A and B are shown apart, each in its own frame.
Chain A
C-alpha cells in the first residue's frame, strides 16, 4: 500500500486530505508543522508528500529545497494558499512536482496524487500505448481503434496521449488544460468538455464500447471496459 505524508498545519484541511486519500486506498501520515514534517520526510519510506506552502517553524519551500538537496526524490504535491502568480513557478523550480492552489477540491487533489504516484508506471522508452483495442503509436503519432485508423488533430492527439499515459486514473479538467495546453488559468466555460466530446466521437464511434468515461464532478478517465 503506497504511503503518503501530509504536511499541513490546518487540522480540518489535513483531516480532509487524509480521509480523501485513505478512501483511495493510501496509507496517510500527518505532520502538523514544518519541523516534524521535514524530519519524517527525511526519515523516508514515503511514496509521496503533500506539502502546505506556508507552515509554522519550517516553511514549505525550505522543506522542498532541503529534500532535493539531500537527493530525496519523493514526488511532492505543493498546496499553497499564496495568491502570487509567480509562486507556482517558484514552488516547481524549488523541486515540487505539482502545485495546487487553495481553495481546492479534494477530488482534484486526489487525482493529482494518483497521477504523481503512478508517474513512472509508463516507461519513457515505451513507443506504444494501448487501452483495450485502442492503440497509440508514439513514434508515428498514429491512433487505431481495432483495425480502424483514427484521424486526430494535433491537440486531440496530445489529449489522447495524456489520458492513455494515465489509463485507469481520473484526470481532472484542470489537469487536462495544464498538460495539453500548458496554461494554468480557469478557462471558464465547458471548453475542456467540448474537446473531450470531439475526441470521444472519433474514438468511441457508434456501436463500439465507450472507453472514455466521465467521472461525475471530477473529470475523465480512459480505461478498459469492465
Chain B
C-alpha cells in the first residue's frame, strides 16, 4: 500500500507560518511608509507654499533697480534651483530671470497656483514637472513670475520608496532562504517516518517510527504512534496466539476423527451396508481438513516469513508448466485453454511455488466457472520491468459490485454456489499476492467472463 508522498500536494506548517509572517510584515511596512509619506509630503507642500508666499510679499513691495538686485541676490543663494523667477514687461516680454515665458496655465491673479507642467524651457536647472507658481504685478507695472519646484517632494517619495524596497528585500530574501532551510529538516524527518511506516505497512510490525533528540511536535506525534503500534503488535500476537492454540487444539481431534472413520471403514469391508455412509463421512472429513489447511495456510502467508526464499524466476517456464498442468482438465471439460506470451518477458522476483499456487488457483477457477465449449486464456504482457499475467474466461463473469469482495475469506458469488470449492482459493491468492507486493485486479474480460490480472511489479 503506497503512503502519500509529502512533497506532492502537502505543505509544511513552517512555510505557511513564514508566508503569513512575511505577508503581515509587508502589509505593516507598506502602511507605515504610506502614512509617513502622506504626513511628510503634506508638510513639505505647506513649506513650499510658505516660502513662495514669503518671496511674493518680499518682492511685491519693491520696484525698479531695487527689485532687480534683490532678485539676482536671492538667486545667488539658491544652489539647487528649487526657486526660479522671471521678470516681464507689461506686454509679457521677458526682461530678466531664468523664466523666459509666462507659464500658460498660470492665472495672473496674484494667487499661488499648483501647475502640473511647469515650464517649457531647455535649461536643465529649471523645474519642469509640477511646481507652485505665482504671478504678481510689481509697483512699476512689470510682471514678476515666481516658481518653486516641488522636487523636494519627489526626493522624499523616492527616499521612502527606496526605504520600503530595501526593507522588503532584506526581509523577503533571507525569509525565502530561511523558509527553504527550515522546511528541509522537517521534510527529511517526515521522509524517515514515511520509510518506517512503509515497512510497518508491508508487515514488519516490530518497526517503530524514528524519534529525534529534539523532543518537538513531530517527536510527540511519533511517540504517540509508536505507543499505538506497541499495543497493536501485542494484540496481534495475542490474536495469533489464540488462533494457533485453536488450530493446534483442532488438528489433533481432526486427525483422530479421520483415522477412526478410516479404521471403521477398513473393518466394515466393501460389502457392508455402512460402507457408503462411511465413505461419505470420510469425504466430509477430508473436506474439513482441506478447508482447515487452507485457513492455516492463509495465516502463515500473512505472517510473511517467506520473503527470504524469493528468487529470480522466468515467467515463461512457470506459465508453460501451468498450462500443461491444466490442459487435461480443460480438455476434459471441453474448454479451449490457451496461453499467449511474448518471447521476451522480464524475470519475476518471488517464490516459485507460491506464484504457481496463486496462478493455479486463478486458472483452476476460470476453468471451473467456464461452461463446456467455452474459452480460457492465459496471457502475459510486459511493461518495462513489470509483468502482467491475465487470466480470461468466457464464464458468467464477476459482477462489478462483487469484485472487491471475491478476495475475502470464504466469499463465493451466488453463481458459484453450484460449484464445489472452498471459497478460500482467491483469499490464498490475495495473501500470496500481498506477500510479493504484487497487485490483483478483478475485471471483465473481452471473452465475456471474468478477467483476473496479476500485476507483478518490481
Asked if A and B are interacting partners, one says: yes
Residues of A participating in the B interface, judged by any CB pair closer than 8 Å: 10, 12-13, 16, 19-20, 23, 81, 83-86, 101-107, 153, 155, 181-191, 194-195, 197-198, 216-217
Could you tell me if B305 and A86 are in contact, using CB atoms closer than 8 angstroms?
yes
B306 interfacial by beta-carbon distance below 8 Å: yes
- Which residue of chain A has its CB nearest to the CB of B326? A191
- Which residue of chain B has its CB nearest to the CB of A181? B325
B26 interfacial by beta-carbon distance below 8 Å: no
- Which residue of chain A has its CB nearest to the CB of B356? A183
List of A residues within 8 angstroms of B45 by Cβ: none
List of B residues within 8 angstroms of A86 by Cβ: 305-306, 309
User: Separation in Å of the B251 CB from the closest CB of chain A?
Assistant: 5
List of B residues within 8 angstroms of A103 by Cβ: 250-252, 254-255, 258, 289, 292-293
Could you tell me if A187 and B294 are in contact, using CB atoms closer than 8 angstroms?
no
Could you tell me if A83 and B259 are in contact, using CB atoms closer than 8 angstroms?
no
User: Separation in Å of the A78 CB from the closest CB of chain B?
Assistant: 15
Q: What are 27 residue pairs bridging A and B, where the CB atoms are less than 8 Å apart in the complex? A: A12-B252, A12-B256, A13-B252, A13-B255, A81-B248, A81-B251, A83-B300, A103-B250, A103-B258, A103-B289, A106-B258, A107-B262, A181-B325, A182-B353, A183-B356, A185-B297, A185-B353, A187-B364, A188-B361, A188-B364, A189-B368, A191-B325, A191-B364, A195-B328, A197-B328, A217-B262, A217-B265
Given contacts A102-B251, A103-B251, A194-B328, contact A187 B256 (CB under 8 A): no
B192 interfacial by beta-carbon distance below 8 Å: no
In B402-425, the 8 Å CB interface with A consists of 421-422, 425
Could you tell me if B255 and A20 are in contact, using CB atoms closer than 8 angstroms?
no
B176 interfacial by beta-carbon distance below 8 Å: no
User: Separation in Å of the A122 CB from the closest CB of chain B?
Assistant: 26
In B233-247, the 8 Å CB interface with A consists of 244, 247
Could you tell me if B279 and A217 are in contact, using CB atoms closer than 8 angstroms?
yes
- Which residue of chain B has its CB nearest to the CB of A195? B328
Query: In the complex the two chains form, what is the Cα distance from A12 to B255 in whole Å?
Result: 9
B332 interfacial by beta-carbon distance below 8 Å: yes
- Contact partner of A105 (CB less than 8 A), chosen from B250, B258, B266, B332, is B258
- Which residue of chain B has its CB nearest to the CB of A23? B266
List of B residues within 8 angstroms of A13 by Cβ: 252, 255-256, 259
Tell me the total A-B contact number using a CB cutoff of 8 A.
Answer: 108
User: Separation in Å of the B124 CB from the closest CB of chain A?
Assistant: 96
Query: In the complex the two chains form, what is the Cα distance from A198 to B326 in whole Å?
Result: 12
In B168-216, the 8 Å CB interface with A consists of none
List of B residues within 8 angstroms of A19 by Cβ: 263
Query: In the complex the two chains form, what is the Cα distance from A184 to B303 in whole Å?
Result: 18
Most chain A CB inside 10 Å of its own CB: which residue of B251, B259, B368? B259
- Which residue of chain B has its CB nearest to the CB of A189? B364
- Which residue of chain B has its CB nearest to the CB of A217? B282
User: Separation in Å of the A33 CB from the closest CB of chain B?
Assistant: 16
- Which residue of chain B has its CB nearest to the CB of A188? B364
Could you tell me if B263 and A20 are in contact, using CB atoms closer than 8 angstroms?
yes
List of A residues within 8 angstroms of B251 by Cβ: 81, 102-103
List of A residues within 8 angstroms of B332 by Cβ: 194, 197
List of B residues within 8 angstroms of A216 by Cβ: 279
Given contacts A86-B309, A105-B262, A189-B364, contact A81 B297 (CB under 8 A): no
Could you tell me if B260 and A16 are in contact, using CB atoms closer than 8 angstroms?
yes
B284 interfacial by beta-carbon distance below 8 Å: no
List of B residues within 8 angstroms of A101 by Cβ: 293
- Which residue of chain B has its CB nearest to the CB of A107? B262
Query: In the complex the two chains form, what is the Cα distance from A217 to B251 in whole Å?
Result: 20
Query: In the complex the two chains form, what is the Cα distance from A183 to B355 in whole Å?
Result: 11
Given contacts A84-B305, A194-B329, contact A183 B258 (CB under 8 A): no
Most chain B CB inside 10 Å of its own CB: which residue of A83, A103, A182? A103
Could you tell me if B255 and A102 are in contact, using CB atoms closer than 8 angstroms?
yes
- The 9 A-B residue pairs whose C-beta atoms are closest, nearest first, are A16-B259, A103-B254, A103-B255, A106-B259, A83-B296, A102-B251, A194-B328, A185-B357, A12-B256
Query: In the complex the two chains form, what is the Cα distance from A184 to B353 in whole Å?
Result: 8
Could you tell me if A105 and B286 are in contact, using CB atoms closer than 8 angstroms?
yes
Query: In the complex the two chains form, what is the Cα distance from A86 to B364 in whole Å?
Result: 25
B290 interfacial by beta-carbon distance below 8 Å: yes
Could you tell me if A104 and B306 are in contact, using CB atoms closer than 8 angstroms?
no
Could you tell me if A191 and B259 are in contact, using CB atoms closer than 8 angstroms?
no
User: Separation in Å of the A158 CB from the closest CB of chain B?
Assistant: 11
Given contacts A83-B247, A86-B305, A186-B294, 13 further A-B pairs with CB under 8 A are A13-B256, A20-B263, A81-B252, A83-B244, A84-B303, A85-B305, A86-B306, A103-B293, A104-B258, A185-B357, A190-B329, A195-B328, A217-B279
Could you tell me if B252 and A102 are in contact, using CB atoms closer than 8 angstroms?
yes
User: Separation in Å of the A210 CB from the closest CB of chain B?
Assistant: 18
User: Separation in Å of the B419 CB from the closest CB of chain A?
Assistant: 10
- Which residue of chain B has its CB nearest to the CB of A10? B252
Most chain A CB inside 10 Å of its own CB: which residue of B260, B300, B329? B329
List of B residues within 8 angstroms of A190 by Cβ: 329
List of B residues within 8 angstroms of A105 by Cβ: 258-259, 262, 286, 289
User: Separation in Å of the B348 CB from the closest CB of chain A?
Assistant: 16
User: Separation in Å of the A54 CB from the closest CB of chain B?
Assistant: 9
- Which residue of chain B has its CB nearest to the CB of A101? B293
- Which residue of chain A has its CB nearest to the CB of B367? A189
Could you tell me if B328 and A198 are in contact, using CB atoms closer than 8 angstroms?
yes
- Which residue of chain A has its CB nearest to the CB of B248? A81
- Which residue of chain A has its CB nearest to the CB of B353? A183
Given contacts A103-B251, A106-B263, A194-B329, contact A188 B324 (CB under 8 A): no
Q: Contact string, B92-130, partner A, CB cutoff 8 A, digits 1/0?
A: 000000000000000000000000000000000000000
- Which residue of chain B has its CB nearest to the CB of A89? B309
Could you tell me if A191 and B252 are in contact, using CB atoms closer than 8 angstroms?
no
- Which residue of chain A has its CB nearest to the CB of B250? A103
Query: In the complex the two chains form, what is the Cα distance from A225 to B263 in whole Å?
Result: 26
Query: In the complex the two chains form, what is the Cα distance from A85 to B258 in whole Å?
Result: 23
Given contacts A85-B305, A186-B294, A189-B368, contact A16 B328 (CB under 8 A): no
Query: In the complex the two chains form, what is the Cα distance from A13 to B299 in whole Å?
Result: 25
